[in-house]
Structure 1
């Protein structure tokens, strides 16, 4: 049986570390940092860990509908979306993800841009 990306990169513990690092960078970003000013970051990291884990073939499943409702009120534009993709790509690279796997995750996140970008 083939190993999933989720398994290859260490399961929930490692994915959570990667997601935490991403949010450290995101909160420092002048473009997207303000979106997280009043956010419960523990909860945010938990949700994002489940989302990324599902993309990597982990045991969680995630549908697009919760993404849509969670982002509908945030007035996210193309610039913010591009910043998220860029910071995620950098974080994955710095965390030892192979180039093809980084491209896969970025592609899967970008594929949902129409759900998240509202302005």
Structure 2
């Protein structure tokens, strides 16, 4: 018997949902005093890469890898001072974005659990 398990990408609602999440997320990131300064003024290229990455990370098409190769996300974040507080701030902005686009609490918890490991894996500096 074959079982079918939906991916987070499918459960969230696919391409349109990922786009809405990213569009809700980045204004929160830019406004956050701990992490906003880490991002460029022109946030649009960052948003597009995040959309491609989250699509792939949540089990959708391999858009990021097709365009940019292996994500190597830890290496890409090394130039930035990522503290535990900044990782939590990033997750907090994502939590708010998920709520804003009406993702259920149960699904939001699964998304945040999936993102929490990488967010903390990127920490490369002690607490401030």
Q: Same fold (TM over 0.5)?
A: yes
- 1:18 maps to 2:21: yes
Provide the secondary structure at the position in 1 that maps to 2:113. Answer: helix
Call closer, same or farther: CA 1:47–1:98 in 2, change over 3 Å: same
* Alpha-carbon contact 1:67-1:115 (below 8 Å) kept: no
RMSD: 2.3
What are the Cα deviations for residues 49-71 of structure 1, in whole angstroms up to 9, with x where unaligned?
A: 12222233211276885211110
Q: Number of matched residues?
A: 118
Aligned-partner Cα distance in 1 for 2:87–2:41: 18
| 5+ residue gaps, structure 1 | none
- Conservation of the 8 A alpha-carbon contact between 1:9 and 1:97: yes
In 1, are the aligned partners of 2:49 and 2:64 still within 8 Å (CA)?
no
The one of 9, 14, 33 aligned to 1:30 = 33
What does residue 84 of structure 1 align with? 90
Normalised to the residue count of structure 2, the TM-score between the two structures is 0.78
Would you identify which runs of 4 or more consecutive aligned residues in structure 1 move more than 6 Å?
A: 61-64
2:103 corresponds to? 97
Structure 2: runs of 5 or more not aligned: none
For the residues of structure 2 that align with 1:82 and 1:44, how far apart are their CA atoms?
19
CA distance in 2, matches of 1:56, 1:113: 15
* TM-score of the two chains, using structure 1 as the length reference: 0.83
3-state SS of 1:112 partner: helix
Asked if structure 2 preserves the Cα contact closer than 8 Å seen for 1:12 and 1:53, the reply is yes
- Residue 5 (structure 1) aligns with: 8
For 1:51, the equivalent position in structure 2 comes to: 53
